[in-house]
Structure 1
Amino acid sequence: MADDPGTLLDSDSEDELPVGWEERSTRDGRVYYANHSGKATQWQHPRTGKRKRIVGELPYGWTTGVDENDCQYFIDHVNKKTTYSDPRLAFAVEDNAERGEITQRFDAYSTCKSILLGRDLTGQYVIITGANSGIGFETARSLAIHGAHVVMACRNLKKANAAAKKIRDERPEANLEIEVMLLDLASFRSVQQFAENYKLREWPLNILILNAAVFGLPWQLTEDGIETTFQVNHLSHFYLFQLLKNVLLNSNNPRVTVVSSESHRFVNITGNNFNVGNLSPPKNEYWSMLAYNRSKLCNVLFALELHRRMCNHGIACNVLHPGNMIYTGLPKNWWLIWFVYMFVRPFTKTLSQGAATTVYCATARELDCVGGLYFNNCCRCVPSDESMNEGTAMELWEISERMIKESLSKHNL
């Protein structure tokens, strides 16, 4: 959009538009300004230079429509009026996304319900890995109840179908759109089959939530010959994105949301530590806690690099920490950690609070086309210096591609 200052000296009010200017909005809520005398448009307010964005749902009794020129209009059913002006324009907030600033609206006590209050996600197609229990289940439940078409990508179909039934039974009258599909992240063959099955359905993919993780596993190799924690928590998610990338690119406002952990701060993988032998170590060099922390660092590096590579193509990616020691099935493989989780359970987040940051990153309007950020407690914060090293992220990307290619070639996949 071109900038044209127009006539700026005919009002004492800073926010009042000059003569010949009109305030409008795009479908994704971004406010722009039309200069009728100069026949130009711009994102910045002609007086203040600020950018604005519309947030929140339409007032009671309002709906939208699209005319023959593909322009959005607004219908006031109460007063039986139609207008091309969004009724929320008067309450638009400053859009600081261009400067990397996100206004905090929620915190550690926020729940999925508060974040999605009034939201209608009908028409949004979502994949959630590891959705049959814990934070993944709560994420699937919350998005489905608000109208999204949710695909629960899980290894255990029996548990996943039971979880889906539990969600449907909560709102039997709503005919919730929930699908269960097999995805075993310990198998590249399974990742391939899942992606192919999804593509065969010819659905779009608006939100990809990479949530599944394992913790505290004893050393073991997957069928692809890779250490399990690294493959499940990072490498298969990396591969899944690659296989579904074109589906995301052909969908409206696609987002990728990666669930990591504050544990990413307690490890580094630069220098001599950064090689395939350390990412997927032999048995005598394996420690489950280190493997988990390393995989969570890989999550952050991957998410930030994904956004750098794909933001100009329309895919936004953010990464998050859901909360400390939330009681889920994650620590079940390590009895001592499980005991600690049980002990602190009354003092930690509920599942709805734990899933809130995931839901926020996946759906918040202020994050439309905004990515490359790390969130904790629904608030943007700074990840570790290690995770923001672009050189390390690029190297991890290349190593991940190479490991997958070599494994696929070895197993004739």
Structure 2
Amino acid sequence: MRCAAGGDGGPPPAAGGPPGAAPARPLNYRVALITGANTGIGFETAKALARQDYRVVLACRNKEKAEAARAKLQELVPENTRGVEVAVMDLADLGSVRAWAQRAQDFGHPVDVLVNNAGVMACPQMQTRDGFEMQLGVNHLGHFLLTNMLLPLLSTPERPSRIVTVSSAAHYFGHINFDDLQSQRNYDSWRAYGQSKLANVLFSYELARRLPVGANCTANTLHPGVVDTELARYLLPGQTAWWQKPLLQFGKAFSLTPEQGAQTSIYLASSPEVEGVTGKYYNKCRPETSSSESYDATVAARLWDVSAELVGL
């Protein structure tokens, strides 16, 4: 599946200064930061934006894997003139997110596109470094902190910017349980995953409501499809119940490739068709209706306040 607009095409921006040069205002090239960009749909999104001559920043927790992804991108997209950078941060460690985002704030380089892509799915009961349930911590809270700290760099009126958050159709069975947000009682990996993906949608909608018009910034979320990526690493044989194995093999045969799964992310990040569009949920490059709970503004506002308290904003 490839979207009609916003794929790998599009004219490059005007030439700017060399990679690594001190930023001038206004910059005449675009910058995209993508979390979890060393593999899967994150890597494919980075590749597509590099082909549009964005300066691409790969935000990853493993420096060696990130550097390998950077080398591969430079080999695959030699025509990119803006360069590929690595940002080492672990969404399961808010200290590392905060440290990198603070350095970005200090440098003051505008960001044109933020793709909140990294995630974990249906893992065993685990905690982040800060003591949060792993799926809520990585999928939602880490991205919540990163996005909020980067808002000053995403809110330059003369530069339209976009925040794209990768959710999932799993949000339809999600529910925000404020009485047990960290899933400490009767942990169920899929229930926790659904909650984290619903949190992604609620966060995107609430962010769209809170962004002032003058910020010239949009926030949208999406379902990438059922994609064969490392996201399913906790569902691999040896990590699942015996009855799940044939279902996994069957499902894998009908899964999208990472390139196919990245198309809606690429579309929302770069297509002129969605310039100025905000507060929407997309699937296959088209807006769709999300779950009923995702439109509950009271739940969204409460989740925002609770999240801000948890991450120390």
- Which band: TM-score by shorter chain? 0.7 to 0.9
Please provide the CA RMSD for this pair. 2.0
Asked if the contact 2:57/2:85 (under 8 Å) is kept, the reply is: yes
Amino acid of the structure 2 residue aligned with 1:334: L
Which amino acid letter does the alignment assign opposite residue 262 of structure 2?
A
C-alpha distance in 2 between matches for 1:264 and 1:377: 16
Within 1, Cα distance between the matches of 2:64 and 2:246? 27
Whose RCO is larger (CA < 8 A, sep 6+)? 2
Matches within 5 A, 1:163-312: 163-172=69-78, 174-175=80-81, 177-250=83-156, 252-269=159-176, 273-275=177-179, 278-282=180-184, 284-312=185-213
Deviations 1:234-290 (A, max 9, x none): 011111111111111126101100100000001222xxx323xx22122x4211111
Instruction: State how 1:3-402 maps to structure 2 within 5 Å.
Output: 109-110=1-2, 115-120=7-12, 123-172=29-78, 174-175=80-81, 177-250=83-156, 252-269=159-176, 273-275=177-179, 278-282=180-184, 284-312=185-213, 313-324=215-226, 326-335=227-236, 336=240, 340-402=247-309
**Aligned 8 A contact 1:116 1:146 in 2:** yes
Compute the displacement of 1:174 (Å).
4.1
- Cα distance, 1:392–1:114 mapped onto 2, change above 3 Å: closer
| Cα distance in 2 between the residues matched to 1:320 and 1:370 | 13
Can you list the C-alpha shifts for 1:193-217, whole angstroms capped at 9, x where unaligned? 1102323443210111101101122
When residues 214 and 159 of structure 1 are mapped into structure 2, their CA distance, relative to the original with a 3 A threshold, is same
C-alpha distance in structure 1 between counterparts of 2:134 and 2:193, whole Å: 10
Query: How many residue pairs are counted as aligned between the two chains?
Result: 291
Question: Structure 1 residues 173, 344: CA separation in 2 closer, same or farther (over 3 Å shift)?
Answer: same
| One-letter code aligned to 2:31 | Y
Find the aligned partners of 1:244 and 1:398 in 2 and give their Cα distance: 18
Contact 1:112–1:359 (CA under 8 A) maintained in structure 2: no
* Alignment check: 8 A CA contact 2:6 2:267 kept: no
Runs of 5+ consecutive residues of structure 1 not aligned to the other structure = 1-108, 409-413
Per-residue CA shift, 1:270-317, capped at 9, x if unaligned? xxx323xx22122x4211111111000000000000001104232210
TM-score (ref. length: structure 2): 0.87
Pick closer, same or farther for the CA change 1:315–1:113 going to 2, 3 Å. closer
2: distance between equivalents of 1:168 and 1:219? 38
Offset, 1:169: 0.8
Structure 2 residue matching 1:128: 3-state secondary structure: strand
Separation of aligned partners in 2, 1:347 and 1:397? 36
Deviations 1:126-172 (A, max 9, x none): 11011011000100111012200110000011111111111111233
Tell me what 1:57 maps to: none
Matched-pair contact (CA < 8 Å) for 2:205–2:280: yes
Q: Percent identity?
A: 38
**Which entry has the higher C-alpha Rg, 1 or 2?**
1
Structure 1 residues 386 and 119: alpha-carbon distance in aligned structure 2, compared to 1, 3 A threshold: farther
In structure 1, distance between residues paired with 2:6 and 2:293: 33
- CA separation in 2, counterparts of 1:188 and 1:174? 32
Q: Which sections of structure 2, spanning at least 5 residues, go unmatched?
A: 15-28
What's the TM-score once normalised by structure 1's chain length?
A: 0.67
- Given residue 118 of structure 1, which amino acid in structure 2 is its aligned partner? G
CA drift of 1:112 comes to 8.9
CA distance in 2 between counterparts of 1:224 and 1:280 reads: 12
Counterpart of 2:220 in 1: which secondary structure?
Answer: strand
Alpha-carbon distance in structure 1 between the residues aligned to 2:116 and 2:267: 14
Instruction: For 1:274 and 1:233, locate their aligned partners in 2 and report how far apart those are by CA, in whole Å.
Output: 17
3-state DSSP of counterpart to 2:211: helix
CA–CA separation in structure 1 for the residues paired with 2:4 and 2:258: 9
Measure how far apart 1:346 and its partner are: 3.8
What is the distance in 1 between the residues matched to 2:258 and 2:109?
Answer: 29
